[in-house]
Structure 1
Amino acid sequence: MAAKFTAADKTRTPALTQSTSRPRYFFFYGSLMDPEVYQTVTNSADPPVMQKGWITGFRMKMWGIYPALVPEAGSKITGTFCMVNSHDHFMDLQEYETGNYTPFECTIFTEGADQLDDSPTEGWAGSPASKELEGGVFDFERYQKYFKPSVVRGGF
């Protein structure tokens, strides 16, 4: 498993290297907005403290039931964020996101009017024009009702 993560480190963007070297706020806009999903994926003893926020500079598309961000100026994406303190948790998140996603740097805007610069989020690793992506919006409630149980009960 360690060899797998070492190989992944070499193929990721600079955001991954920076993200694993120190605690950072990480922005979520899909299934990981759910604290229980995050806790399951990272095998954390306690649920994360999720806060509401948004980012700009991306557009949301859908890859099946999952949202995928692609760079696009002027768009606003709402979601949640939390502090990712450990290299292991960051790597668990990378494994959950699969190779179809890659880290992007963003600025998180908080409901308290703060800006959290130099924060990672995951976006589509392929071409923004990929035929695998469709228009649409992520239905978080539908995800929680129909798809979340397979993650939190059976692992991912």
Structure 2
Amino acid sequence: MAENVPPSPMARKFMLAAEKGRHPVSYGNRPMRQFEEVYYFFYGTLMDPSTLGHVLKRPDTPDVHKATIEARRIKLWGEYPALVIGFPEQTIHGVACKIKSEEEADRLAAYETAMYGADGCIIRFEDGSTVSGWTFVWNADESLLKEGTFDLEDWLSKKQHPANDQ
């Protein structure tokens, strides 16, 4: 390899992931075996069952359950929320949905883009029960993020009435 040649975008992605201790792909931490249904935790646009159903390409609206995860912090990438690892003791409110196939997991990863990577988490439901699952966390340079909060109702309103978003 020639000297002073910058690493390719793919190589940079893997180097960044190695620094953060996780894989850059959506479900890269899972061993390669037959897919098992698993809960994913959502804290942004995919909290909306209609949007989630569209992304998953399900014929029916998916069942979502109010849930929380711990030890994360939300910042914003533009208008979209991004979970940042390393800020403990914060409760993030969202929803959880059981993902039923590898194809659905792939669709989620495509929707989230390479800017996010899946990371394991403990999901706590309103009844106090918990399950191991996955959530998407920020997988890029944190300098691209700003402080702020995400409001699903505001996002849905802007989506339904784009002319009002000036």
Q: Return the TM-score normalized by structure 1.
A: 0.81
Unaligned runs of 5+ in 1: 1-9, 151-156
Equivalent pair of 1:58/1:73 in contact (CA under 8 Å): yes
CA distance in 1, matches of 2:161, 2:29: 31
If each structure's strand is expressed as a fraction of its own residues, which one has the higher value? 1
If each structure's helix is expressed as a fraction of its own residues, which one has the higher value? 1
Read off the aligned partner of 2:69 and give its amino acid letter: I
Pair 1:41–1:110, CA change in 2 (3 A):
same
Which of 131, 137, 147 is matched with 1:116 structurally? 131
Aligned positions, number: 138
Pair 1:37–1:148, CA change in 2 (3 A):
farther
Partner residue of 1:89? Answer: 104
Read off the aligned partner of 1:44 and give its amino acid letter: R
CA distance in 2, matches of 1:133, 1:17: 31
Q: Return the TM-score normalized by structure 2.
A: 0.76
Partner residue of 2:59? Answer: 45
CA distance in 1, matches of 2:33, 2:125: 20
Matched, 1:103 2:115: no
RMSD value, Cα: 2.2
Partner residue of 2:143? Answer: 131
Q: Deviations over 1:38-71 (max 9, x none)?
A: 1111111011100001000110000001000011
Partner residue of 2:16? Answer: none
Partner residue of 1:70? Answer: 84
Equivalent pair of 2:24/2:139 in contact (CA under 8 Å): no
